[in-house]
Amino acid sequence: RYSQQFIDLIDLQQNRFTTLPVKDVLNQKVPQLRFLAQLDSEGYFQTLRSKLVEGKPESLVLTFDELLRRTDFPQLMRELLSTLESEYHTPVDIEFTARVAEKNGSPNVQITLIQCRPLGTIKEASYEIPQRVAETDKIFSGISVVAGGMVEGIRYVLYVRPSAYFAMSTQDERSQLERAIGKVNAALHNENYICVGPGRWGTSNPDLGVHVDYADIFNTRAIVELTGGEAGIPDEPSLGTHFFQDLLEGQIYPLAVNLNRDIFNTRFFENSPNRLLEWLPGAEALKHCLRVISVADYSPQSHFDLVINDMNGDALAFLSREKEKSGEGRQLIVP
């Protein structure tokens, strides 16, 4: 269930990039297959002992177990990352290729470094959740897996209505939604806004959440994933894992809100005027699903702030009147 299901590759016959299911690619013709995959036999993984695959090739699962246990790949990666960190004076994010070949009957791993860059992080800061916020001023509460922080001056919310999203019956409808989100993101580039919607944002499976790329949401200050209740999916948020490093470098907070236990101001999200057509003319067909909410429409001369506690990851978004604040921005730092 949690193993890699698809492989990106070059189709030499068609001379193009493509993505195929793992089961359509793995077979006994794959070099050094035993270092890459194991056989799923009645719920247990079996290591391949020879080039012959006992059972159906469809039972092969990518685990890389033998690569990690029987080769020097982990040690090479430790040395590579340590060397780069020493030179860059900070942890790095890398792209690489690895090749496993036989040498004197033993596996020989060759790593090619393609590129590296400093690993973006959010600087930890101490923030406490305000205790004297009126219930009517609370927009939502939730959790985050990143360091404590604060996003001030949020004036707009891009909201995907869960019930309308999962009622979409065709992939074409969801593709139109994805394109619309990207266009609204571009239109709001000078505004403080956040994205709120059902399930795992960035997933390749639109049945599990909103299928978008990082390029569709890079101007947002936070991504808030709704689970449970009317969100229509179990409490398994991705918390940004589909483009986590991009979020950190973009200083974007990933959060999750469980509609069964957390605060979610339905009146704000569902009853506020929808300004979608002001930012994206011609998107009438998506008004039932995609909403652009101005905080000032709900509470005049107001924005809302988002605070994430650095001790337990609890988060709270709440209204703040303009006269109470003099500045705004993101309290996030990328070294």
Q: Is residue 127 part of a domain?
A: no
Let me know whether 173 and 302 are in one domain: yes
Q: Decide if 155 is inside a domain.
A: yes
Q: Same structural domain for residues 180 and 51?
A: no
- Within a domain: 124: no
- Note the pLDDT of residue 303: 95
Residue 198 lies in a domain: yes
Please check whether residue 126 lies inside any domain of the structure: no
Task: Tell me which residue of 247, 260, 197, 245 sits closest to 225, measured CA to CA.
Answer: 197
Confidence (pLDDT) at 145: 74
Domain of residue 87: give its range: 71-118
155 and 188 fall within a common domain: yes
Residues 310 and 271 in one domain: yes
The CB-side HSE value for 186 (13 A sphere, CA atoms) comes to 8
Q: Is pTM beyond 0.75 here?
A: no
Domain co-membership, 174 together with 230: yes
Residue 42 lies in a domain: yes
Rounded Cα gap, residues 46 and 23, in angstroms: 16
Q: Are residues 45 and 107 in the same domain?
A: no
Are both 110 and 216 inside the same structural domain?
Answer: no
pLDDT of residue 231: 65
- The number of distinct structural domains making up the chain is 3
Give the pair of three-digit tokens for residue 56. 């159906």
Domain finish residue from 68, 92, 110: 68
The answer on 170 and 35 residing in a single domain is: no
In a domain, residue 19? The reply is: yes
In the predicted model, residues of the chain with pLDDT beneath 70 are: 1, 50-56, 120-125, 147, 231-235, 240, 323-335
